[in-house]
Amino acid sequence: MKQSFVFSGSGGQGIMSAGITLAATAIEMGKHATYLPEYGPEQRGGSAKCTVVISEEPIVSPLPKYCDNLIVMNEQAYAKFAEDLKEGGVLLANSCRVKDAAIENARVISAPVDDLALELGSAKIANTVLMGILIGATGIVSREAFTDALEKKFRDKKPGVLEMNMAALDKGIEIGRKA
């Protein structure tokens, strides 16, 4: 089945990185995936959005108008993309920056992603908490495949970074499963 994901927020929140890691993980699992980034000229603070499509079949169009899963990291992203969520889709919102996320006929998951990341050691792992919630709530990729991807990504970083991300992932999965 084809599933589409829009990740949105501002530059520096790890939006693009989350999208790439999800798509790469799906491919490692033998699925097909496309990742399309869209951003302005700014490196930090500008609008950041990426679209990920995952399917068992080769992907024809990478440009869906409506998505099955919308992940918003801030208020501006929510305001801009809420109307692009399909009926019955999943909205995952960072409640630290999105107040009162509510879309009719959607499965709404709000979690204080920024606060959770800080509690676990760094604001930089907010996107991993977010991915954990998404994986826990939707099962789009397995925990094992995603941890393999995290290991590849962080194995050359300084000690502790990988472990912190693993903890963030598991915290997210725990929240996602209950949501």
Partner 1 sequence: MGDIKFMKGNEAIAEAAVRAGCRFFAGYPITPQNEIPEYLSWRLPEVGGAYVQGESEIASINMVYGAAAMGARAMTSSSGPGISLKAEGISYLAAAMLPALIVNISRGGPGLGSIQPAQSDYLQATKALGHGGFHAMVFAPNSAQEAADLVYTAWDYAERDRNPVLLLMDGCLGNIMEEVQLPPMREMKDEDLPEWSLTRRNGRDYQGNITPIYTEPILEGINTMAGEMYKAWEEDDVKVEEFMLDDAEYVIVAYGIASRVAKEAVLRLRAEGHKIGLLRPITLFPFPKKQIRDLDYNRVKGIIDIEMTIPAQMREDIELQVKDRCPVYEYGRSGGCLLDDEGVYEAIGEILAGGENNG
Binding site for partner 1 (CB under 8 A): 20, 23-24, 27, 32-38, 40-41, 59-66
Q: Residue 96: which of 122, 75, 124 has the closest Cα?
A: 75
Q: How many other CB atoms are found less than 10 A from the CB of residue 57? A: 9
d(CA 170, CA 64) in angstroms, rounded, equals 30
Distances (CA, A) of 92 to 13, 32, 59, 158: 15, 23, 24, 30
CB of 91 to partner 1, least distance (A): 19
Residue number, 65 or 158, with CB nearest to partner 1: 65
Residue number, 34 or 94, with CB nearest to partner 1: 34
CB of 34 to partner 1, least distance (A): 5
CB of 4 to partner 1, least distance (A): 10
